Amino acid sequence: MTASNTSRFTPKNPLWYEDLAARESEIDFNERLESPLLDEDLNHVDENYLEISRTSSVIRGLGILVGGAFFLSVIGFFIPLLIKLRDVYFNLIPALGIIFCVMLVGGLVAAGLFALHDCLLPRDTPVRFNRNTRKVYFYEYTASLQRLRRWRKEIKVYDWDQIEAEVTKVSGFTGKTYVVRHELVLVICKAGTNEVIDRISLKGNDVTVETLYQLWSYVRRFMAYGPARIPDLKARVQGVSFISSLFHFMPYISPTEEGRRFRSKMRWLDYPIIFLTIWFFWIWLPLGICNYIAMKCAPEPKWPAEIDAESRSLRSS
């Protein structure tokens, strides 16, 4: 990371927190890459290419939970209320009844779209770093609430020599707690300049920045030296199981392989965070069930055949 309080990229990210080490700067091999969250971001690594998962950046299941909760509240509370007060809403003040109905329908449509996006978003939107082609391949998924036709996958390919990294920060007070989230963003610049042409998130929704530093260092080491100079991490357990999903937001007590891996790499910093979050188990468990539903409905990511072959290839084209 840099000590500067000013971004070196133009235009500056409005959520900018700090720039990370330049892509070609000297690598510190004394830096320990031991975050328990690094394993959950690794899909594949070999002499040829590295694939990073971005599933951990998405609170999967939230759309179904919110949409389902709103639907049940409409069925169990708002519609009975409307029926009970129909004389007031439709006889005395007809406009009020119309407004009430429009708000209910609008809320149901919004909640339905939120839940639908949860189910249609691919199970993963991975990023591949190929040492031989020296390119980075992004599996993106775009969605627009205005038109369902715009919900589609998009493949982006950039040269590794165009890419730098920065961290963004979002913070706010909910009324009870102060919430902070950080994100590792890959900054794509015009060749030989710091002029930004695109920004793509590599990992987000992190309470601290330590894992983001380590992930950028891990990628830089791989692209410079290959697997020989990076930690021997195990690829994450892929596939969908009910138990894994149930404890997805509480991996520190999960009886699964993912849970055992997480506990084996826990640091002192993780314990106070766990202590503060475990009391919200009444949210995490229902959210875990919704995570399972969303992941079972979600399609597997499928690279176009030509891009898939190139991103895995042993030589540049």
99 and 54 co-located in one domain: no
* Residue 219, amino acid: V
279 and 226 co-located in one domain: yes
Are 61 and 293 within 8 A, CB to CB? Answer: yes
113 and 248 co-located in one domain: no
99 and 245 co-located in one domain: no
Q: How far apart are CA 187 and CA 200, in angstroms?
A: 7
268 and 197 co-located in one domain: yes
Q: Please check whether residue 167 lies inside any domain of the structure.
A: yes
Mean pLDDT across 147-171: 90
53 and 104 co-located in one domain: no
Is residue 171 classed as helix, strand or coil in its secondary structure?
strand
Are 2 and 209 within 8 A, CB to CB? Answer: no
CA 94 to chain centre: 45
pLDDT in tens, 4-63: 578 999 999 999 999 999 999 998 888 877 666 677 899 999 999 999 999 999 999 999
Show Cβ contacts of residue 212 under 8 Å, excluding neighbours closer than 6 positions.
Answer: 20, 167, 182, 183, 184, 203, 206
Single pTM value for the model: 0.88
Domain count, the chain: 2
- Among 102, 118, 134, which residue terminates a domain? 118
pLDDT in tens, 188-213: 999 989 999 999 999 998 888 988 99
68 and 208 co-located in one domain: no
- Structural domain boundaries, residue 90: 64-118
Is residue 253 classed as helix, strand or coil in its secondary structure?
helix
Q: Please check whether residue 305 lies inside any domain of the structure.
A: yes
Q: Please check whether residue 169 lies inside any domain of the structure.
A: yes
